[in-house]
Amino acid sequence: MRRRDFLKAGSVLTAAGLVSSAAAQELPTLDAGKRSKLAKVKALTFDVFGTTCDWRSSIIREGEMWGARNNIRANWPDLADDWINGYGPVVDRMYSGEIPWGKIDDVYSIILHELRPKYGLEDLSEEEIYNFVRAWHRIAPWPDALEGIRALKKKYIVASLSDGNVSMLINIAKNAGIPWDAVLSSELSGRHYKPEKEVYLKAAELLSLRPHEILMVSAHKGDLAGASAAGFTTVLVPRPKAYVEGASLYDNLDEFSFDIMANDYIHLSRILNAI
């Protein structure tokens, strides 16, 4: 799966009618095989952008506040969507050697530079570009995230596993109060981004666990596919509001497998008997 498809494969399963509100908090009936897999789990690793945190609303809010302070009017929802959609192509250019390798801070800076003419931001200084990119360090968690992670932390190791660079993930956690046991990032695996297998295997190595002892929590199809290929157990947590409507419908749903699905982190805590 290409990185741009991985990012776009957000979660709109509720909108597609695959998760009904009436059944949202019901505990799934698990067969013996899945119960056995979950019984071996010792740690949960969480995607951050879109799954743990509502990046889109956060970036729109930051843009509105930043624009008001600097007397800049822009279509902030469209800018947020263009910003995230530029991620895959820029990382692909890094892999090809067209541009130097960089961390996600660098990726978001490159994208914002390229979006300047479209949104009337040509007069921004490099310092202003830097400060606006830092908005990604302040994205807010979904309403259920903190309570769910705290509950899961009582029973499991809980860690981020994101393409965000380590410093960004630390700042997000400190600003939002996310109680990670460890901050893991694709940055730690060298020149790799999710959904490459090396990212997940490095996380398992750093946690001194076997891959099947880790449950990858994500709203992204590509993330779960990559984690599964590395031997992780997987859980889908749909986040329909993480992307603009219609921009991230799952394709090939019949080919998409994951071990369990939870409506949110509190629901996941109930499934795993953490609350």
Domains and CATH numbers, the chain: 3-54+139-271 (3.40.50.1000), 55-138 (1.10.150.240)
Q: pLDDT grade, residue 30 (50/70/90)?
A: confident
* Whether pLDDT at 5 is above 70: no
Q: Mean per-residue pLDDT for 134-158?
A: 97
What pLDDT digit, counting tens, does each position of 82-101 carry?
999 999 999 999 999 999 99
pLDDT at 14 over 60: no
195 cis-preceded (ω within 30 degrees of 0): yes
Sequence-ordered list of residues with C-beta below 8 angstroms from that of 217, at least 6 positions apart, any chain: 44, 45, 46, 47, 51, 235, 237, 265, 268
**For residue 248, is pLDDT > 80?**
no
Mean pLDDT of all residues belonging to the chain: 87
Q: pLDDT tier at 274 (50, 70, 90 boundaries)?
A: confident
Alpha helices in 40-154 (DSSP H): 55-69, 76-85, 87-96, 104-115, 126-133, 145-153
**pLDDT tens column, 95-135:** 999 999 999 999 999 999 999 999 999 888 889 889 999 99
- For 129-144, what is the mean pLDDT? 95
Strands 260-261 and 233-236: parallel
Reduced DSSP (H G I as helix, E B as strand, rest coil) percent helix, strand, coil of the chain, to 5: 50, 10, 40
3-state secondary structure of 82: helix
Ramachandran angles phi, psi of 182, nearest 5°: -150, 145
pTM confidence score = 0.88
Give the C-alpha separation, 84 to 230, whole Å.
25
Q: Which pLDDT belongs to residue 244?
A: 57
